[in-house]
Amino acid sequence: MSRRLEGKIAIVTGGARGIGEGIVDLFVSEGAKVVVGDISEDGAALEHRYGAEHVAFKRADVTREDDIESLVAFCAARFGRLDVMVNNAGALGDQTALLELDAEGFNKTVTLLLRSAALGHKYAGRQMIAQGQGGSIVTVSSIAGIQAGWSAASYDAAKAGLVQLARSATYELAPNGIRSNVVAPGLILTPIIATVCKIRPDQYDEFIESLEQPYGSVTPLRRAGHPRDIAEAVLYFASDYARHVTGQTLAVDGGLTSVTGIDIAGVVNRALEAFNQRTGRDEASEVGWLPTRHN
């Protein structure tokens, strides 16, 4: 079987660990050459792991416009072109409640998660147009950009903005053959949550492992998500298999955004049982119209 990214040149922001690292790993195995842009010097380890002819690390802070511009220029200089831009870098950012909103924290979160991706489109788009052969931009959002309750408002709003950004990008860039799509991960086992829980880096692996069962138990498919699950979806959008797909968001979440978190049958059954007891009604106190949830 031919490799799905053979001959393609890609940038993956936030590629030093977690989901980004999973994307780099899959992209390389599918034939791409990859530039990893990250604030963490851990990205340099990937260059050693895969070899400098396959992976190049460039320190880049996606909250800085000039870093994003330099990252694209570096990629073109190092590997000759850019075919795939993956806007993945992120963190949970400001976690204040709306009524206590930290306005500066909100700005920083939107700068990290939304402005960075818009600028990624700007510089990758310019490069791809100059090359004249189109390209693919894939942005990593979140189920928090689709449903509320997974994170705080700053993160949710920034991640939701990415869904519309891909549509705006489609409006402007599709005539140049540039596609823009979004992957929205569910609960994925990466250090992002360890960071916010203030776990020591040497305990990340142990902590992440401890989340496997709880993440799986609340996910309809009854398994926790892994970086590879997200990488497979990013690969689809990046590859020519998605040649006619743009402006779309794909939730890769084991079903989390497809089902309600509310046990409506339980709510009705409890009310019915109380009603039966109060009124002396001699009827079944369980309605059969929904299967009982066992979370």
Ligand X SMILES: NC(=O)c1ccc[n+]([C@@H]2O[C@H](COP(=O)([O-])OP(=O)(O)OC[C@H]3O[C@@H](n4cnc5c(N)ncnc54)[C@H](O)[C@@H]3O)[C@@H](O)[C@H]2O)c1
Active-site annotation, residues:
155
CB of 216 to ligand X, least distance (A): 13
Note whether 192 binds ligand X by CB under 6 A: yes
Rounded distance between C-alpha atoms, residue 121 and residue 136, angstroms: 10
Rule CB under 6 A: choose which of 29, 63, 131, 176 binds ligand X.
63
DSSP codes joined into one string, 225-285: B-HHHHHHHHHHHHSGGGTT--S-EEEESTTTTTS-SS-HHHHHHHHHHHHHHHHT--S-S
Cβ atoms within 10 A of the Cβ of 1, count? 3
Structure token pair of residue 110:
């939107």
Rule CB under 6 A: choose which of 5, 9, 10, 16 binds ligand X.
16
Question: Is-contact 187 221, C-beta < 8 A?
Answer: no
CB of 17 to ligand X, least distance (A): 4
Residues binding ligand X: number (CB under 6 A): 28
Note whether 142 binds ligand X by CB under 6 A: yes
Note whether 88 binds ligand X by CB under 6 A: yes
* DSSP collapsed to 3 states, 78-119: HHCCCCEEEECCCCCCCCCCHHHCCHHHHHHHHHHHHHHHHH
Note whether 254 binds ligand X by CB under 6 A: no
Binding mask 149-188 for ligand X (x = CB under 6 A): ------------------------------------x-xx
Task: Count the residues in the chain.
Answer: 295
Rule CB under 6 A: choose which of 191, 199, 211, 228 binds ligand X.
191
CB of 67 to ligand X, least distance (A): 7
Please say which residue, 207 or 272, places its beta carbon nearer to ligand X: 207
For the stretch 261-269, contacts whose Cβ atoms lie closer than 8 Å and that sit 24 or more positions apart, written own/partner, are 261/149, 263/292, 263/293, 263/295, 264/290, 265/289, 265/290, 265/291, 265/292, 265/293, 266/292, 266/293
Note whether 232 binds ligand X by CB under 6 A: no
Q: Which stretch binds ligand X (CB under 6 A): 37-45, 126-134, 243-251, 279-287?
A: 37-45
Question: Is-contact 151 142, C-beta < 8 A?
Answer: yes
CB of 284 to ligand X, least distance (A): 41
Please say which residue, 110 or 269, places its beta carbon nearer to ligand X: 110
Query: Residues interacting with ligand X, by CB under 6 A?
Result: 13-14, 16-20, 38-40, 60-63, 88-91, 112, 140, 142, 185, 187-188, 190-192, 195
